[in-house]
Each structure stands twice: as C-alpha cells, then as structure tokens.
Amino acid sequence: NAGVMQNPRHLVRRRGQEARLRCSPMKGHSHVYWYRQLPEEGLKFMVYLQKENIIDESGMPKERFSAEFPKEGPSILRIQQVVRGDSAAYFCASSPLGIDRGYGYTFGSGTRLTVV
Amino acid sequence: GQQVMQIPQYQHVQEGEDFTTYCNSSTTLSNIQWYKQRPGGHPVFLIQLVKSGEVKKQKRLTFQFGEAKKNSSLHITATQTTDVGTYFCALFSSGSARQLTFGSGTQLTVLP
C-alpha cells in the first residue's frame, strides 16, 4: 500500500510562474484534502474534494488558486502567478470516507514550495 | 467554524520527564483527533476520541477527552528523544464544512 503520494517533494518557482502540485490518494480513498503550512505554524485547510467534485473550498484564496480531482489521475493544486507569500509546505491528505465517519487523515509527505 | 486553543506552544523537557499538551474549545466537540509531526515530516494520525471522559492509551501516550467534551489532553510519560515533534489536536468542523480544523500545535523538544 503506497500511501498518499505527493510530488514534487520540493518545488522552486520564480515570482509570476505557475506551480502545480500533485497528490495521489491511498488506494481505496476517495476523499482528498489540501492543507497549507507556513514555517513554524499550524495546518490551514484549503480545499476538500471527491472525484470530479469540489466539496468545500472555503479555505482557498479567491484568486490564483484552484484545485481539481479528476475521474482519472491525481488531484492537482494549481497556483498561478506565484508570489513570495505562497512559499509554504502544501500537504495533501486522504481518507476512505468523509472525516465525519471517524477516520483519521493519511497525509502525504508534502510539497515544499519556495518562491524566489 | 469551531476554534480550538492549544497550549503550550513550545515545551522543552529533559529526557525521562513527562509532557502534557492541552486543547480547549469554547463549544462542545463531537470528537477530537491527535496528530504528531516530526521535524521536516508530515502529520501522522495518532488517535480519535469520541466519548465524554474517554481515556485511551498507546504505550507511553495517554489521551483524554473531557467530561464536557470541551477539552482534551495528550500526556507522554518518561519522554524519549523519539518523541520530538509537534503535536496537534484537530476537531471536526460541523455544518457544511466537512474537514478538520487543526490546533496551533505544541512543539516538543526533548533534551538528552
């Protein structure tokens, strides 16, 4: 069981470029969550997706950020026109059922985004 | 959404000493989960508490859920260097938002 796979592990982008972060959930998990963690801070919720559906994007900035979880392939978190303030660790987590069913999250290793 | 306060923010202990972190909420929680994140690593699920007054143990770790379901604690007995990391509590956001809200975490340093 490969666990939650995130890639790349590290990503460096210049200001104004686009960043694409990928997440493949654990086998059998259909719920995907993205969190952002700034240095020395906690985890901030961004978006919750199921296959082909965005369930809750209340934590996503209104501009430049988007997420998808297509029928085939990994979930993608896309950040357009990155700025220095986007530098953070982005974690993806998955669960087999909704979190309200009592399952803990399984987190991926994260993508550390650095904007230069 | 629901908010939770986690204290202390930092804790330094000598190896062998005990450690406790607390999470407090102003509202009643349906459940609470605990995660550990090693330095440079990712959060790892430890446990979920659901019942009022519930106590669960994992080796040297003891987790408690308050009688009023408004607070929770994680206690580590006789800390080891392998316990180093940040411990987060997390609670389920009720209503339409089906996701976990994490506390700010307690960063534990264990001095050898």
**pLDDT tens for residues A43-86?**
999 999 998 899 999 999 999 999 999 999 999 999 999 999 99
B residues 57-86 lying closer than 8 A (beta carbon) to A: none
Judge whether B2 is closer than 8 Å to chain A, CB to CB.
Answer: no
pLDDT at residue B98 is higher than 80: no
Q: Across-strand partners of A43?
A: A37
pLDDT at residue B97 is higher than 60: no
Q: Which strand (E) or helix (H) includes residue A57? A: none
- Residue A101 — very low, low, confident or very high, per pLDDT cuts 50/70/90? low
Please check whether residue A81 is in contact with residue A98, taking contact to mean a CB–CB distance below 8 angstroms: no
Phi, psi of A7 (to 5 degrees): -150, 150
Amino acid B96: pLDDT: 47
Q: What's the rounded mean pLDDT across residues A17-30?
A: 94
Amino acid B30: pLDDT: 86
pLDDT tens-digit series, residues B77-87: 999 999 999 99
- Residue B95 — very low, low, confident or very high, per pLDDT cuts 50/70/90? low
CB contact under 8 A, B88 and A105: no
Q: What share of chain A has pLDDT > 70, as a percent?
A: 94
Judge whether B88 is closer than 8 Å to chain A, CB to CB.
Answer: yes
pLDDT at residue A98 is higher than 70: no
* Cα–Cα distance for residue pair B46/B87, rounded to 1 Å: 10
Q: Which strand (E) or helix (H) includes residue A14? A: none
How buried is residue B93: exposed, middle or buried, by Cβ count under 10 Å (0-12/13-18/19+)? buried
- Residue B2 — very low, low, confident or very high, per pLDDT cuts 50/70/90? low
Which residues of chain B neighbour A29 with C-beta distances below 8 Å? Answer: none
Q: What's the rounded mean pLDDT across residues B55-76?
A: 97
CB contact under 8 A, B104 and A99: no
User: Which residue of chain B has the CA closest to A43?
Assistant: B102
Amino acid A12: pLDDT: 98
